[in-house]
Copies of this chain bind each other. A is one copy, B any other.
Amino acid sequence: MTQRLVVKFGGTSVADLDRIRVVAGRVAKMAGDGTQIIVVVSAMSGQTNQLVEWTSSFGQLHNSKSFDEEYDVVVSSGEQVTSGLMALALQELGHKAKSFQGWQVPIITDASHSKARVQDIDKEVLENALAEGYVVIVPGFQGITEHGRVSTLGRGGSDTTAVALAAALKADRCDIYTDVEGVYTTDPRLVPDARKLDRLTPEEMLEMASLGSKVLHTRCVEIAMNYGVKLQVLSSFIDKPGTLITDEESGVEKPVVSSVAFSKNEAKVTIYQIPDKPGLSARIFGKLAEENVNVDTIVQIIADQDRHTEISFTVGVHDMQRTQEMLEVLRAEIGFSHVSAEGNIAKVSIIGAGMQSHVGVAQKMFQTLADNNINIELISTSEIKVSVLIRQEHTDLAVKALHDAYGLSGSGL
């Protein structure tokens, strides 16, 4: 049966004409045996920044709908250029190749300009082109609203385009080509013997993405998970397999912990002596969401006998002061006693689909940190993840020690 692949190339992979030709060469090879190929391309690196810079000159208009609409018109042009050049590079190699912009497919999104979500993809145009033997090129990042306006999907949006196309066209796999060789057990810049993972479950990848791993965008992994798209992350510069993200059984036992993730520059905010009445948390976090403060890990405890509670949560350190100010406004209304905030916080997490069926995994984490005299400020767990907040200056030591403790270094599973 004919194979069908979606392959996505990011900005550094299509940085200039030479690189575009290299990518076209790889695509031509894939298409050589009759495999149907849908190529998703980002803007040539630097182009998007230039376009964003131009629009940001109109800074006072930011966050208005009419600004976002025109922002999308301007910024989406970068991917348009690459898609046309990629089609030409494939034609040069003797292949039938044709570009289809987001509005030509069409890729329908909601009307949240500059951060739109894909709602539907019409398959017909692309299916016809594939049936006629074309290599199809679709610029990433672009869509069209039901009002016929150009939309963009926000940063990381090209990955989302690729996986959404793979879901709609029922591709056998979606390969995300990038400038790293795959997903690592932890950041190799920090731990030199970090190991490339051969496979991961989508759930693990999702935890890593939401914990700040830049390899894949959260939304992209969500779609892959929901539609059962088999994803691969691999290097566009080196010709070898990357990391496969799939639920399929590999035949090899799952490792208990597959990776150590971390994010620095967090702040911990604690609200003390909140009256234990229904709806107050919703009121607090609703206010923060309204003001676009991204709240992460939330922990709530009953702090004393008179049924007051205490809530701790993390925000990006750049939002810390603003968060304190907003909470101060809510103090009288809600009736809590006071707020404390602390910057210089890091979050370190261990992730692994295998930990569901193993006891003592979290305990080993706490012990390892204790052995290294690292104090834990807060703990939060999910079925496949344990996160702790620690002081930022301990991040490197903590990550290295945990990477070692769970046996993630070196070769082999």
A58 in complex: contacting residue of B74, B92, B103, CB < 8 Å: B92
> Which positions 93-124 of chain A face chain B at CB distance < 8 Å?
96-99, 101, 103-104
Given that A77-B77, A80-B77 are contacting pairs, would A70 and B55 also be in contact in the complex, using a CB cutoff of 8 Å? no
A230 to B204, CA, bound (A): 66
A55 to B83, CA, bound (A): 12
A222 to B153, CA, bound (A): 43
A166 to B222, CA, bound (A): 48
**Of A61-69, A276-284, A299-307, A381-389, the one touching chain B:** A61-69
A91 contacts B by Cβ under 8 Å: yes
A73 contacts B by Cβ under 8 Å: yes
Interface flags for A124-150 (1: CB within 8 Å of B; 0: not) read: 000000000000000000000000101
> Size class of A's contact patch?
35 or more
Given that A96-B66, A148-B104 are contacting pairs, would A80 and B88 also be in contact in the complex, using a CB cutoff of 8 Å? no
> What residues of B have a CB within 8 angstroms of the CB of A99 in the complex?
70, 73
A51 contacts B by Cβ under 8 Å: yes
A55 to B20, CA, bound (A): 12
- Decide if A91 touches B70 in the complex (CB within 8 Å): yes
A60 contacts B by Cβ under 8 Å: yes
A89 contacts B by Cβ under 8 Å: yes
- Decide if A55 touches B91 in the complex (CB within 8 Å): no
> Which positions 22-76 of chain A face chain B at CB distance < 8 Å?
51, 54-55, 57-58, 60-61, 64, 66-67, 69-74
> What residues of B have a CB within 8 angstroms of the CB of A92 in the complex?
58, 60-61
> Which positions 139-179 of chain A face chain B at CB distance < 8 Å?
148, 150
A17 contacts B by Cβ under 8 Å: yes
- Decide if A84 touches B70 in the complex (CB within 8 Å): yes
A55 in complex: contacting residue of B58, B64, B72, B85, CB < 8 Å: B85
> Counting chain B CB atoms within 10 Å of each CB, which of A81, A97, A104, A150 scores highest?
A81
- In whole Å, how far is A48's beta carbon from the nearest beta carbon of chain B? 12
A150 to B103, CA, bound (A): 11
> What residues of B have a CB within 8 angstroms of the CB of A104 in the complex?
148
- Decide if B69 touches A98 in the complex (CB within 8 Å): yes
A353 contacts B by Cβ under 8 Å: no
> What residues of B have a CB within 8 angstroms of the CB of A74 in the complex?
80-81, 84-85, 88
- In whole Å, how far is A344's beta carbon from the nearest beta carbon of chain B? 39
Some 11 contacts from A to B, beta carbons below 8 A apart, are: A17-B57, A54-B81, A61-B88, A61-B91, A66-B97, A70-B98, A71-B88, A73-B99, A77-B77, A77-B80, A77-B81
5 pairs of A and B residues whose beta carbons are closest in the complex: A73-B84, A74-B84, A77-B77, A58-B88, A70-B84
A residues in contact (CB < 8 Å) with B: 17, 51, 54-55, 57-58, 60-61, 64, 66-67, 69-74, 77, 80-81, 83-85, 87-89, 91-92, 96-99, 101, 103-104, 148, 150
